[in-house]
Structure 1
């Protein structure tokens, strides 16, 4: 059963896409953690070139309070406060994938550059145990609607993967079937710890 597998979901800032999937998969009983690969956490600001920037480890609560002080109307209207409220109910703060010590069986990414960053990080660690990890990318645009859709697609993928006896030998068939039925292309690599 996939419920026994350790799953990670990775986006850039560990705010929207990874947290939406983290929340949904967790509710469905999967053992899941979420991360970001960015150097800092960025949230939209008053202008596109003026994001709100936080360090990884800053709590979702602190970000929420900071934005409430800055402009509660703007950050309510654009959904950021609602997103942070959801996030703080799932875990304390955004975490950076590069600092994660856990080993996972499956790592989902939501953008090709994040997929590349995860593979680069795993490769830079070197292989100690030669334990395989399935790294799968599903492109998800970074907006609230797409994050919700992406979370449901990842859940669908997890449910399919849960039904197989030998994930390593059946993963390619699962991916092909998913692509065919959902009209989405996945990237997939087996990496090693």
Structure 2
């Protein structure tokens, strides 16, 4: 991830909870499950959406004292708290100045540690994640919307879903919102993702009302086809409000 500040401008959405009882389930993804996906994870949870998050890289990589000396950790094994304490003991001035300690401090109050997308088994209950922010509603281990924060992460998610062969036969919208990997841009991207979530949730709630909650909530393609067809239009309207966050969409399958 970069540590220099970027710049972006857009109006910030209100951080309101989704209207009514219905809430789409979200998953946010970046390379290391550290900056962009975790900022979006936190903001979606604060807006009361069910949310989980992952990284697609082979290892978790954080900036070190030089470009050739990154701090490298394993997914699913090293907690954010361990990373925070290690970097604080190495060089607190450096890692506070470049924002890593602040980022890791945020992360350790969201969930235990970075998870790798390729190790996730959709449909497997996530009962051991009850302390994660946004965990309520995601206990069943499935989501409706996956939002990646970089094109290569979008490609990795789509390739992985294709290789899995859709064992659950459940549609999932995979949307890439391209966000530069620095702290300021991640903050802007997080606000934009919450705004997108609100628009998607409103469209889904409307179609659910027409279809009937029982049928819609089963998550089958036929029950949700009217919502699936609306997603590109919702995304296009959102893109007009957030032109500095280029977005790409596809419908895939769990």
TM range (shorter): over 0.9
Structure 2, gaps ≥5 residues long: 1-19, 123-141, 208-226
Match of residue 230 from structure 2: 170
Shift of 1:48: 1.4
Residues in 2 aligned to 1:186 and 1:34: alpha-carbon distance in whole angstroms:
18
Alignment check: 8 A CA contact 1:2 1:162 kept: no
Structure 1, gaps ≥5 residues long: none
Aligned pairs for 1:34-73 (under 5 A) are: 34-57=53-76, 58-73=78-93
**Match of residue 97, structure 1, among 114, 117, 121:** 117
SS at match of 2:172: strand
Match of residue 16 from structure 2: none
Alignment check: 8 A CA contact 2:175 2:247 kept: yes
Q: Does 2:33 correspond to 1:14? A: yes
Aligned length: 193
**Match of residue 83, structure 1, among 103, 107, 114:** 103
* TM-score w.r.t. length of structure 2: 0.73
Match of residue 48 from structure 2: 29
SS at match of 1:163: helix
- Can you list the C-alpha shifts for 1:94-137, whole angstroms capped at 9, x where unaligned? 00001112332100000000000000111111122321000000
Larger Rg: 2
Shift of 1:180: 2.0
* TM-score w.r.t. length of structure 1: 0.96
Alignment check: 8 A CA contact 2:59 2:72 kept: yes
Task: Name the one with the larger helix percent.
Answer: 1
Provide the alpha-carbon RMSD of the alignment: 1.3
Alignment check: 8 A CA contact 1:4 1:31 kept: yes
Shift of 1:42: 0.5
Match of residue 15 from structure 2: none
Alignment check: 8 A CA contact 1:3 1:31 kept: no
Residues in 2 aligned to 1:52 and 1:110: alpha-carbon distance in whole angstroms:
21
Q: Does 2:171 correspond to 1:132? A: yes
Alignment check: 8 A CA contact 1:3 1:29 kept: no
